[in-house]
Amino acid sequence: MRDEHSGVPEIDLLAIRDALILRWWIVPVVMLVSVGFLFANESDLATEPGYIAVSRTYEARDESAVLTVAGIDPGSIVPYPSFNNQLTILRSDDTKAKISAKLNSDTAVTVSRTEQRFSLVDTVEGDGNTRFTFLSVGVPTYGFSCAAPLAETCNTAIDAYVAELSSLRQASVQEGFVRAEKLVSQLSDTGQAGSQIATQQSALAYAKNMVTGEVTLISATSVEVGPTVATVKKSTYIFGMGVGALIGLLIILQLTITDRKIRTLRKLNSAIGEERVLGVLSKDLQGSVNQHTAAAIAFAAATNNATVVRLIPIDDSVQIGPITGALSQALAGRSISLVATPAIDHLGATELLAPPGSLTVLIARALISRTDVLERAIAVAEHAGNNVTGVILSH
Helix (H) or strand (E) holding 35: helix 26-47
Distance CA 339, CA 309 (A): 6
- Number of domains, the chain: 3
What is the β-pairing status of strands 308-313 and 130-137?
A: unpaired
* Contact status, residue 115 vs residue 129, Cβ threshold 8 Å: no
- Residue 107 in any domain: the answer is yes
Distance CA 199, CA 182 (A): 15
Best mean pLDDT range from 49-53, 119-123, 272-276: 272-276
User: What pLDDT score was predicted for residue 163?
Assistant: 94
What is the domain-level CATH number for residue 368?
3.40.50
Angle at 332 between CA 326 and CA 334, to 5 degrees: 130
- Residue 2 in any domain: the answer is no
Of the candidates 360, 366, 363, 302, which has an alpha carbon nearest to the alpha carbon of residue 331? Answer: 302
Strand partners, 120: 134
Same domain, 234 and 288: no
User: What pLDDT score was predicted for residue 392?
Assistant: 92
Torsion sign, CA atoms 256, 258, 260, 266:
positive
Strand partners, 274: none
- Residue 4 in any domain: the answer is no
Residues 348-381 have pLDDT tens digits of 998 998 888 899 999 999 888 998 999 999 999 9
User: What pLDDT score was predicted for residue 16?
Assistant: 67
Same domain, 58 and 17: no
Strand partners, 269: none
Q: Which is more confident, 204 or 151?
A: 151
Buried b (16+ CB within 10 A) or exposed e, 313-344: bbbebbebeebbebbeebbeeeebebebbebb
Same domain, 25 and 58: no
**ω into residue 9 within 30 of 0, thus cis?**
no
DSSP state of 379: H
Q: Read off the pLDDT band of 382 (50, 70, 90).
A: very high
Same domain, 384 and 277: yes
3-state class of 277 per DSSP? strand
Cα distances (Å, whole numbers) of residue 93 to 88, 99, 156: 10, 10, 18
3-state class of 385 per DSSP? coil
As a whole number, mean pLDDT of residues 269-292 equals 79
Best mean pLDDT range from 110-124, 144-158, 318-332: 144-158
Same domain, 76 and 193: yes
Distance CA 22, CA 365 (A): 18
As a whole number, mean pLDDT of residues 336-346 equals 92
Same domain, 296 and 248: no
Q: Which is more confident, 15 or 108?
A: 108
Q: Read off the pLDDT band of 4 (50, 70, 90).
A: very low
User: What pLDDT score was predicted for residue 243?
Assistant: 84
Same domain, 37 and 174: no
As a whole number, mean pLDDT of residues 35-54 equals 69
Residues 245-277 have pLDDT tens digits of 888 888 877 777 777 888 888 888 888 888 899
Domain limits for position 365: 265-394
DSSP state of 188: I
Q: Read off the pLDDT band of 136 (50, 70, 90).
A: low
Of the candidates 289, 321, 241, which has an alpha carbon nearest to the alpha carbon of residue 38? Answer: 241
Same domain, 364 and 247: no
Distance CA 208, CA 172 (A): 11
- Residue 76 in any domain: the answer is yes
- Residue 5 in any domain: the answer is no
Same domain, 219 and 343: no
Helix (H) or strand (E) holding 239: helix 234-258
80, burial (CB in 10 Å: exposed 0-12, middle 13-18, buried 19+): middle
Q: How far is CA 36 from the centre of its chain?
A: 12
Best mean pLDDT range from 69-83, 181-195, 215-229, 303-317: 303-317
Q: Say yes or no to pLDDT of 11 above 70.
A: no
- Residue 6 in any domain: the answer is no
Same domain, 66 and 214: yes
* Contact status, residue 253 vs residue 77, Cβ threshold 8 Å: no
Q: How far is CA 275 from the centre of its chain?
A: 55
State which amino acid sits at residue 370: R
Angle at 318 between CA 315 and CA 323, to 5 degrees: 140
Same domain, 119 and 247: no
As a whole number, mean pLDDT of residues 385-390 equals 92
User: What pLDDT score was predicted for residue 98?
Assistant: 93
* % pLDDT > 90, the chain: 29
DSSP state of 314: S
User: What pLDDT score was predicted for residue 8?
Assistant: 43
User: What pLDDT score was predicted for residue 233?
Assistant: 67
